[in-house]
Structure 1
Amino acid sequence: MMMKMKIALVACVLLASSLTFVATNSGFGPDQCCFKFLPKPVSKDRVVAIKATEKLCAMEGVLFRMKKGAVFCADPNAQWVKDIMEAKANEQASTPAPSQ
């Protein structure tokens, strides 16, 4: 009787751990979310890409990818973030499309 309980317990632990592994690697959910924001402004010249976080994230944020590859989260309501986003949008709008 005691041996059957141990086997059942081990089976339950293995099942629970395998389900946890599958759930965390399922690919469901956002790729990147912000959990804290940059406390001070960054130079717009160092920002190479801007991306808004997905709607499934707990906090709405803006992801700045920098020249050296680092990614930082910023508060989309901060004025300096709005200024960088506007400046980058204007840069993209004034850049001519590549010809074929």
Structure 2
Amino acid sequence: MMTMMKNPIMLVACTLLFSSLAVLASQNSFGPDKCCFAFVSKPLPKRRVVSYTNTDDLCPMKGVLFKMLNGNELCADPSVEWVTKIIEAKEKLLAKKVDSSVSKESD
């Protein structure tokens, strides 16, 4: 009689354990980290933008995520002219930094 009671309890315990592990695994492995669902409409001040990243291809809208001096992250439309100008300016600045660090190392 005792062995008949243990089997259903063990089955329920294993099922609960497996389902909780499956939920934890699915939360971390699917989909992009950050997506844009709305864009800022006014141009951002170039000097207040610290860095930028493009959103993942899996996002519903293609966007650029600007990290600002105050820590905020703002989404912008990558096809807008002021957005491309900020990106170009940040790329130039980064290239200048890399170039100066390479020339210091070779001295």
Place the TM-score, normalised by the shorter chain, in its bin.
Answer: 0.7 to 0.9
* Structure 2 residues not aligned, in runs of 5+: 1-15
3-state SS, counterpart of residue 76 of structure 1: coil
- Please give the root-mean-square deviation of Cα atoms over the aligned residues, in Å: 2.2
Give CA-to-partner distance per residue, 1:48-85, whole Å, 9 cap, x none. 01100010000000000001100000000000000000
Identity %: 47
Find the aligned partners of 1:20 and 1:42 in 2 and give their Cα distance.
42
3-state SS, counterpart of residue 48 of structure 1: strand
Instruction: Give the TM-score normalised by the residue count of structure 2.
Output: 0.69
2:101 aligned residue (92, 97, 100): 97
**Across the two proteins, how many residue pairs are aligned to each other?**
86
* Structure 1 residues not aligned, in runs of 5+: 1-14
3-state SS, counterpart of residue 81 of structure 1: helix
1:31 aligned residue (8, 30, 33): 33
Instruction: Give the TM-score normalised by the residue count of structure 1.
Output: 0.73
Deviation at 1:26, TM superposition (A): 3.0
Q: Which has the higher helix share?
A: 2
Find the aligned partners of 1:57 and 1:85 in 2 and give their Cα distance.
20
Deviation at 1:97, TM superposition (A): 2.1
